[in-house]
Structure 1
Amino acid sequence: MNSIVNHIWLLLSHKSFLWILLFINILGTVYGYDWYMWQLEMTEPIYWIFVPDSPTASLFFSLAIIGWLIGRNFKLIEALALITLVKYGLWAVVMNLLTLYETGSIGWVGWMLIGSHFAMAVQAVLYSPLYRFKFRHIVIAGIWTLHNDVIDYVFKQMPIYYDLMKHMQQIGYFTFWLSVACIALAYVLWMKREKREII
């Protein structure tokens, strides 16, 4: 079993595969920013950086991949990638499923978003052996993530799902605890790596 896992990891961490993964994430990032253009057009410029959450998360991961390809670790970027990819990947899955519950249908685009965003969260965890971020990077990434929640749900800049706007208070509460869970995940992964390095 370990042999199979090792072979799979060798494939996933091979530079050729990382180039493919980078290409896919860049495409997803561009698509994501384009998806948010209509909301950005009605948003004050001061909030622009906080609106397209998912594509910014995949941008962080793309930059992390570039680092691995050139033999470097952009540690803060890695912490941001892990926390935000898992957070917004799972968040979008839940929002689309909630939309399905509310409306009875989300169409092929909705299912595509569920699949692609779930894959975002999976890849963030899957590549955790390559991360080299430290505790301070988790703190900075955690502050960024929670600050983004404040901008989204206090200053009303959250991604717009028209069918779900009546649930914004509950969604904001859920999002806050999802952020906390993702920050905790980064901390657990960091602690496990620290213990292995000590041993």
Structure 2
Amino acid sequence: MIKQMLLNRTFLMLLLIINIFGTIYGYIWYEGQLTITPAKFLIFVPDSPTASLFFVIFLLFFLKGKNVPYIEALAIITLFKYGIWAVGMNILTLIVSGHLSWAGYMLIASHGAMAIQGLLYSPFYKIKMRHLIVAAIWTLHNDFIDYVFGMMPRYSTLSDYMNQIGYFTFWLSIVSIGVAYFLSVKKNTPTLK
């Protein structure tokens, strides 16, 4: 039932449209930070919209019956990581400040869905270990750029917790890489009998 829905062309087109608009909105959300970011870091700053861009690329190829394993690896890891991260940061903002704007609640819903969609399509990915390694390097390098060079997303309410958030983010990357391995690479690896 779920597999049929995930393969339904109308559903895929709807998912593609939603992700295209979400990606555009995400880059607009980062606009203020991007204008002050040194050019050498630009590609690493807009985390969530880049994750959804990877998924858009995956969907475009998937609709044509083709696989793009490096993009698939980047999509599953970053969708899960930044989906969970944004949900966590918005919940933490609510706990610390006692309130959350409508945009914060929208970010919780949209990023939660972002994390789930990457996992739901994992049976269709053709990721091998080399693809996972490249995506893992990208993801961990991004953490380094964010928390060593200070390019992470800005949540003013949480500025006192940046060290803890950086530590959490690193381990969330490791968990995300592990999830991608178990859902994609391990299932595609032949076992000895």
Provide Cα deviations, 1:12-57, integer angstroms capped at 9, x if missing partner.
2112211111000000000000000011111111111111100000
Q: TM-score, length-normalised on structure 2?
A: 0.96
Provide Cα deviations, 1:110-137, integer angstroms capped at 9, x if missing partner.
0000000000000011111110111100
Find the counterpart in structure 2 of residue 87 from structure 1: 81
Find the counterpart in structure 1 of residue 6 from structure 2: 12
CA distance in 1 between partners of 2:126 and 2:9 (Å): 18
CA distance in 2 between partners of 1:182 and 1:15 (Å): 28
Find the counterpart in structure 1 of residue 188 from structure 2: 193
Provide Cα deviations, 1:142-177, integer angstroms capped at 9, x if missing partner.
000000000000000000111111111000000000
- Indicate yes or no: 2:15 matched with 1:21: yes
Give the 3-state SS of the residue equivalent to 2:77 in structure 1.
Answer: helix
* Unmatched 5+ stretches in structure 1: 1-6
Find the counterpart in structure 1 of residue 147 from structure 2: 153
CA distance in 2 between partners of 1:72 and 1:86 (Å): 22
Find the counterpart in structure 1 of residue 176 from structure 2: 182
Q: 1:37 aligns with which of 31, 38, 50?
A: 31
CA distance in 2 between partners of 1:140 and 1:72 (Å): 20
Map 1:108-127; keep pairs closer than 5 Å: 108-127=102-121
Give the 3-state SS of the residue equivalent to 2:109 in structure 1.
Answer: helix
User: Number of matched residues?
Assistant: 192
Find the counterpart in structure 2 of residue 71 from structure 1: 65
Give the 3-state SS of the residue equivalent to 1:116 in structure 2.
Answer: helix
Give the 3-state SS of the residue equivalent to 1:159 in structure 2.
Answer: coil
Q: In the TM superposition, what is the alpha-carbon distance from 1:195 to its structure 2 partner? A: 4.7
- Indicate yes or no: 2:32 matched with 1:57: no
* Unmatched 5+ stretches in structure 2: none
CA distance in 1 between partners of 2:152 and 2:103 (Å): 20
CA distance in 2 between partners of 1:112 and 1:58 (Å): 16
Q: Runs in 1 of length 4+ with deviation above 6 angstroms? A: none
- Give the superposed CA RMSD: 1.3
CA distance in 1 between partners of 2:69 and 2:146 (Å): 26
